[in-house]
Amino acid sequence: MKIVMLGAPGAGKGTQAKKIAEKYGIPHISTGDIFRANIKGGTELGKKAKAYMDEGKLVPDDVTIGMLLDRISEADCAGGYVLDGFPRTIPQAESLTEALRKRGEKLDYAIDVNVPDASIVTRMAGRRACLACGATYHIVYNAPKTEGVCDSCGEKLVLRDDDKPETVQKRLTVYHDQTQPLFQYYEQAGILKTVDGTQDLNQVFSDIVAILGA
Ligand code: AP5
Ligand code: MG
Ligand code: ZN
């Protein structure tokens, strides 16, 4: 099963993608997590990405597309995957479609986790992230068992550099300008499904399972 998660910054793509990955036994691939791991590791890719991310801008397609296509060529992706944060431009979506077409494959679902902008800024302020394993928490809606510590791997949780309210606002603008056209793209491909992302996160997941099949 090959799934793409769509939705605004903070809609809950990462939260749901992790649950999908666990239930269906497929890898969760987040381009944002890959960039953050590279920043943490001080790599050249990380240095390049950080400047864009801190400003709420997209990392250029020429960097992002190759990185993602390499990742989905790895052995653990043979049985499918859930992509989180990719594609987020039309050229990214087209490159993915084309790369899959060459292998005689295609995406099964594009799931839009729908949350209005007004709810996003509050959510982000309460988010805590694990830069080691990509897990995401919320101080009220999805608190870790021990404050400030990742349940999955025990690392320290942090507030992401791009979760400042001004930067969140910029990310929302970029999302509406550059990522929203993907809805029409996947609607035309006949694979777009929308879930109400303002519900409790377990209810959002039930709605997704109803789409994917139990
Ligand atoms: P990325 O890491 O993808 O960030 P994003 O799209 O802005 O999305 P977020 O990770 O902020 O939100 P999310 O939807 O995953 O929400 P979450 O589950 O955490 O990208 C970061 C940057 O990297 C980009 O700005 C760009 O610069 C660069 N980048 C990445 N991919 C790129 C690409 N393809 N091309 C170019 N550049 C790229 O949930 C949010 C919070 O809400 C959490 O605290 C969570 O616990 C809570 N929550 C979740 N669900 C619920 C619920 N139902 N009710 C209440 N709270 C909830
Ligand atoms: Mg995320
Ligand atoms: Zn962790």
Mean of per-residue pLDDT scores for the chain? 96
The mean pLDDT value for 54-79 works out to: 96
Q: Name which of 142, 100, 101 is nearest 10 in CA terms.
A: 142
Q: Which of 11-15, 32-36, 117-121 has the weakest average pLDDT? A: 117-121
Using an 8 Å Cβ cutoff, are 136 and 129 in contact?
A: yes
**24 CA to centre of ligand 3 in angstroms:** 20
Taking CA atoms only, the protein residue closest to ligand 1 atom 34 is 86
Q: Report the largest interatomic distance among the alpha carbons of the chain, rounded to a whole angstrom.
A: 47
Q: Confidence band (pLDDT; 50, 70, 90) for 154?
A: very high
Q: Which residue carries 């240095």 as its tokens?
A: 47
Among the bound ligands, name the one nearest to the CA of residue 18. 1
Is 103 one of the catalytic residues?
no
Q: Which of 115, 121, 123 maximizes ligand 1 atoms within 8 Å of its Cβ, making it the mutation to test the pocket?
A: 123
The mean pLDDT value for 80-89 works out to: 98
Question: Residue 121: what pLDDT?
Answer: 86
Q: What is the pLDDT of residues 189-213, one digit of tens each?
A: 999 999 999 999 999 999 999 999 9
**169 CA to centre of ligand 2 in angstroms:** 16
Taking CA atoms only, the protein residue closest to ligand 1 atom 56 is 141
Question: Residue 196: what pLDDT?
Answer: 98
Q: Which long-range contacts (CB under 8 A, 24 or more apart) does 130-133 make?
A: 130/155, 130/157, 130/158, 131/36, 131/37, 131/40, 131/155, 131/158, 132/40
**91 CA to centre of ligand 3 in angstroms:** 32
Is 13 one of the catalytic residues?
yes
User: Considering 2, 19, 36, 88, which one is annotated as catalytic?
Assistant: 88
User: Considering 2, 19, 123, 127, which one is annotated as catalytic?
Assistant: 127
Is residue 23 scored above 90 in pLDDT? yes
Q: What is the pLDDT of residues 32-56, one digit of tens each?
A: 999 999 999 999 999 999 999 999 9
φ, ψ dihedrals at 137, nearest 5°? -130, 170
Is 71 one of the catalytic residues?
no
- Sign, CA torsion 183/5/78/25: negative
Question: Residue 74: what pLDDT?
Answer: 97
The mean pLDDT value for 86-110 works out to: 97
**106 CA to centre of ligand 2 in angstroms:** 23
Q: Could you write out the DSSP letters of every residue in the chain?
A: -EEEEE--TTSSHHHHHHHHHHHHT--EEEHHHHHHHHHHTT-HHHHHHHHHHHTTPPPPHHHHHHHHHHHTTSGGGTT-EEEES---SHHHHHHHHHHHHHTT----EEEEEE--HHHHHHHHHTEEE-TTT--EEETTTB--SSTTB-TTT-PBPB--GGGSHHHHHHHHHHIIIIITHHHHHHHHTT-EEEEETTS-HHHHHHHHHHHH--
Is residue 152 scored above 90 in pLDDT? yes
The mean pLDDT value for 118-145 works out to: 92
Is 127 one of the catalytic residues?
yes
Is 160 one of the catalytic residues?
yes
Q: Confidence band (pLDDT; 50, 70, 90) for 181?
A: very high
β-strand partners of 59: none
Structure tokens at 119: 């709810």
Q: Atom of ligand 1 at shortest distance to CA of 88?
A: 34
